Chain A
Amino acid sequence: MYKHVLQSIDNVAIWPVISFIIFFTFFVVLLWRVFTADKTFIRKMSEKPLDDGPESNVNAESLT
């Protein structure tokens, strides 16, 4: 019954293919970028909550 329902949508077969491609690409790119991230930047970001003083706010310079 549901097969029939789904078949009544045009090109429904493309649906799972698109879903798979979106997912696969999304996670591959995410993991790739995260693991190739710059170490100093990561360390600095992770210390953000602990930075309460003014001296901590010089982050911009080191990035370029």
Chain B
Amino acid sequence: MQLEKIHYDNKIVKAFIIATIVFGIVGMTVGLLAAIQLFYPLFNFDLQYITFGRIRPLHTNAVIFAFVGNAMFAGIYYSLQRLLKARLYNDALSWFHFWGWQLIILAAAITLPLGYTTSKEYAELEWPIDIAIAVVWVAFGINMIGTIIKRREQHMYVAIWFYIATFVTVAVLHIVNSFAIPVTFFKSYSWYAGVQDALVQWWYGHNAVAFFLTTPFLGIMYYFLPKAANRPVYSYRLSIIHFWSLIFIYIWAGPHHLLYTALPDWAQSLGVVFSIMLIAPSWGGMLNGLFTLRGAWDRVREDAVLKFMVVAITAYGMATLEGPLLSLKNVNAIAHYTDWIIAHVHVGGLGWNGFLIFGMLYWVIPRMWNTKLYSPKLANVHFWIGTLGIVFYALPLYVAGVVQSLMWKEFAADGFLRYQNFLETTTQILPMYMLRAVGGALYLTGVIIMTYNLIKTAAAGSFVANEEAEVAPLVKVKHTGGHWHHILEAKPILFTVLALVAILIGGIIEMVPTFLVKSNVPTIAAVKPYTPLELHGRDIYIREGCVNCHSQMIRPFRSEVQRYDPKGGEYSKAGEYVYDHPFLWGSKRTGPDLQRTGGKYADSWHFRHMLTPAEVSTGSIMPAYPWLYEQQIDKDLTAGKISALRTLGVPYPDGYEDVANNELDAQAKRMAENLSLEGLETTPDAEIIALIAYLQRLGTDIKLSETTQNN
């Protein structure tokens, strides 16, 4: 047979690897800063661009999309070429993909600190960047599918199915969740409101974990683990079951992020059932990975690559058991809104993604530079310091989460909450926050050690930009019968379509009922749209990332109702959020819930509190917001905001946009005058006035009237 000479493109892999390491260090450093801000608020530096509320999304976006994202592309592009015996489809497309992705990261790094955010977790970037993401993602998809089509292998190995599912699903998730109506170039309102927005967001959020952080890395595991262990995967049959059941089930599990919220009960239960079912494929995959090392465990003792991979797969197993357990309503009642969840995601992020990436880098770089690893000893140091980092990160947060949750729920003998002041429960766990920062610092130190080791390795070798390989051309074979799945593996387009169908079924069945009942979300007659001033305040609340620490969702527990609405005694209802574009339920309570905060304190309290939180509430870890007192509300945007929201169904009367600013001025003037009676001087146009107006509105509608429709 005539052999063909082809060249694998290593240059693009190298570029993605460099980006991985650079953004890994940046993203983790930002994370460390955020961790320190939680116990030393001083580190917010009273500077709006680096307060916790803006830094936290910067951290999550940087580690997810820049660190893990670039590593994913490096791993996919390296393994894809070799598994298909073909160079990537188009070099120009590869580089468009690379530079496009880095520009998106750059745009995120600029816009998030500036406060341009949609506030939807892991989807914070504003609409022009969302469009860019869609374009670059499609370029990646075309490049991958194009490579698959021009392959010299009849069949697609299991890793490639995971890559295809990643591409298809992330595209669907990103597009559906990003629907928004633009107001300006950097401001938009989510297409969905309240409960529906929450459902779409967590369908996206959960599946971003599934199809951005999990499936591509399972593909990477199925390629690089057999490579590193030098033996085939334990069971290829199991991998087929693993793949189809994982993508089929994962897509349904999103509502487990919304247990005990105002989301309809049936949707919550659906999320719970599918989350429990997820244990099976996840553990199937974990065992398939670990069993691949059968007979090679002696090498795990010496080989840092295998060590990293074993811990990664173990962390995957732990996180995917913990996730379903956290989806049980009784466990979730304790864990939700606490640091337990932060610990959980970091076992996945630091353990599974991080360690698998490190293992892959230690394996692939010596090969691409045609040399040996500079120092296996340093790699082992990295392994131990990294493992220690994960332990120091996760354990204190588990303790913090459980302790704080139990404090929130504890009643004294007199029938009142034992810790009535939320702050008491926060100061209690500050030592745990300090330990967590130590864990993060250890982990980051490990990454810096790795970077040194890898640079030295590359310097000692010579880079093979185009790796030569001799392969036989693909002989077209007509299938007459044969096994169904290997027919499927020979038809990438059909495979892609089937994977799409599998994920769409879950998404549609989960969401359609909630959208069909759009007009039937139990409405509460007293709930009215925000006034123009409150609307500006709400957008400031979004800009400052308040949602990162404050929920707006009182769960139907005696402890929560008594803490957050002692007078009214109401938990949160779906009908209260019908005008909320986007929803601001939040997912973490570093501070108290704010759903019924309206009228709880005087305007003057808020005015003083936002300026010097620690003086008003001794020991508070909330950052100060001095710039809100200097910056003016941008009243030019009022009309546009009103019109955009009306398009989305918020019942502002026709022509209201023309008089909205008059109402805004009147309300702001009233508030400023009231403040000045207490000796607090401010201009009515100051942003702080709008924010206070919004906070004072929160949860007050329901207090006006108890009469509800359809309820």
Which of chain B's residues have a CB closer than 8 A to the CB of A59?
153-155
In the complex, the chain A residue whose C-beta lies closest to that of B470 is A54
B residues 199-246 in Cβ contact with A at 8 Å: 222-223, 226-227, 230-233, 235-237, 239-241, 244-245
In the complex, the chain B residue whose C-beta lies closest to that of A32 is B484
A45–B154 CA distance with the chains assembled, in angstroms: 10
B residues 468-518 in Cβ contact with A at 8 Å: 469-472, 474-480, 482-486, 489, 505, 509, 513, 516-517
A49 touches B517 (CB 8 A): no
Which of chain B's residues have a CB closer than 8 A to the CB of A47?
232
A11–B270 CA distance with the chains assembled, in angstroms: 19
B483 touches A37 (CB 8 A): yes
Which of chain A's residues have a CB closer than 8 A to the CB of B479?
63-64
1/0 contact string of A19-40 vs chain B (CB within 8 Å):
1001000110011011101100
B467 → A minimal CB distance (Å): 10
A37 → B minimal CB distance (Å): 5
A4–B155 CA distance with the chains assembled, in angstroms: 51
Given contacts A41-B483, A54-B472, A59-B153, contact A34 B241 (CB under 8 A): yes
B241 → A minimal CB distance (Å): 6
B472 touches A5 (CB 8 A): no
B509 touches A15 (CB 8 A): yes
Q: Is B635 an interface residue (CB 8 A)?
A: no
Which of chain A's residues have a CB closer than 8 A to the CB of B505?
22
B472 touches A58 (CB 8 A): yes
B226 touches A63 (CB 8 A): no
Q: Which of B158, B232, B237 contacts A34 (CB 8 A)?
A: B237
B474 touches A34 (CB 8 A): no
B501 → A minimal CB distance (Å): 10
A46 → B minimal CB distance (Å): 4
Q: Is B264 an interface residue (CB 8 A)?
A: yes
Given contacts A30-B241, A52-B82, A64-B477, contact A38 B483 (CB under 8 A): yes
Number of contacting residues on A, CB 8 A? Answer: 40
B480 touches A34 (CB 8 A): no
Tell me the total A-B contact number using a CB cutoff of 8 A.
124
Q: Is B248 an interface residue (CB 8 A)?
A: yes
Which of chain B's residues have a CB closer than 8 A to the CB of A41?
483, 486
A50 touches B230 (CB 8 A): yes
B483 touches A60 (CB 8 A): no
Number of contacting residues on B, CB 8 A? Answer: 60
A9 touches B237 (CB 8 A): no
B237 touches A49 (CB 8 A): no
A30–B471 CA distance with the chains assembled, in angstroms: 33
Given contacts A22-B505, A52-B469, A60-B474, contact A30 B513 (CB under 8 A): no
B237 touches A42 (CB 8 A): yes
B157 touches A5 (CB 8 A): no
Given contacts A45-B155, A57-B472, A60-B477, contact A2 B266 (CB under 8 A): yes
In the complex, the chain A residue whose C-beta lies closest to that of B159 is A49
Q: Is B307 an interface residue (CB 8 A)?
A: no
Q: Which of A8, A26, A42, A52 contacts B520 (CB 8 A)?
A: A8
Q: Is A13 an interface residue (CB 8 A)?
A: no
Q: Is B589 an interface residue (CB 8 A)?
A: no
Q: Is B3 an interface residue (CB 8 A)?
A: yes
Q: Which of B82, B241, B517 contacts A31 (CB 8 A)?
A: B241
Given contacts A1-B710, A30-B244, A48-B83, contact A15 B513 (CB under 8 A): yes
Which of chain B's residues have a CB closer than 8 A to the CB of A1?
522, 710-711
A19–B489 CA distance with the chains assembled, in angstroms: 27
Which of chain A's residues have a CB closer than 8 A to the CB of B240?
30, 34, 37
Q: Is B85 an interface residue (CB 8 A)?
A: yes
Q: Is B91 an interface residue (CB 8 A)?
A: no
Which of chain B's residues have a CB closer than 8 A to the CB of A4?
710
Given contacts A27-B245, A42-B237, A54-B3, contact A60 B513 (CB under 8 A): no
B245 touches A50 (CB 8 A): no
B residues 501-542 in Cβ contact with A at 8 Å: 505, 509, 513, 516-517, 520-522
> Most chain-B CB neighbours within 10 Å: which of A2, A6, A33, A63?
A63
B78 → A minimal CB distance (Å): 11
Q: Is B265 an interface residue (CB 8 A)?
A: yes
B471 touches A49 (CB 8 A): no
B488 → A minimal CB distance (Å): 10
Which of chain B's residues have a CB closer than 8 A to the CB of A54?
3, 469-472
Q: Which of B232, B245, B520, B521 contacts A49 (CB 8 A)?
A: B232
B483 touches A49 (CB 8 A): no
Which of chain A's residues have a CB closer than 8 A to the CB of B336?
none
A6 touches B513 (CB 8 A): yes
B485 touches A6 (CB 8 A): no
A26–B240 CA distance with the chains assembled, in angstroms: 13
B226 touches A49 (CB 8 A): yes
B483 touches A50 (CB 8 A): no
A57 touches B152 (CB 8 A): yes
Which of chain A's residues have a CB closer than 8 A to the CB of B226?
49-50
Which of chain A's residues have a CB closer than 8 A to the CB of B1?
58
Which of chain A's residues have a CB closer than 8 A to the CB of B489?
45
Which of chain A's residues have a CB closer than 8 A to the CB of B513?
6, 9, 12, 15
Given contacts A37-B483, A46-B232, contact A8 B472 (CB under 8 A): no
Known A-B contacts: A5-B521, A37-B483. Give 12 more (CB < 8 A).
Answer: A18-B509, A34-B485, A41-B483, A42-B237, A45-B155, A45-B236, A45-B489, A46-B239, A48-B157, A57-B471, A58-B1, A63-B482
Can you list 10 contacts pairing A with B, beta carbon distance less than 8 Å? A6-B264, A33-B485, A35-B237, A37-B485, A48-B153, A48-B155, A49-B233, A59-B153, A63-B482, A64-B479
Q: Closest 6 A-B residue pairs measured CB to CB?
A: A46-B236, A48-B157, A46-B232, A57-B472, A60-B477, A49-B226
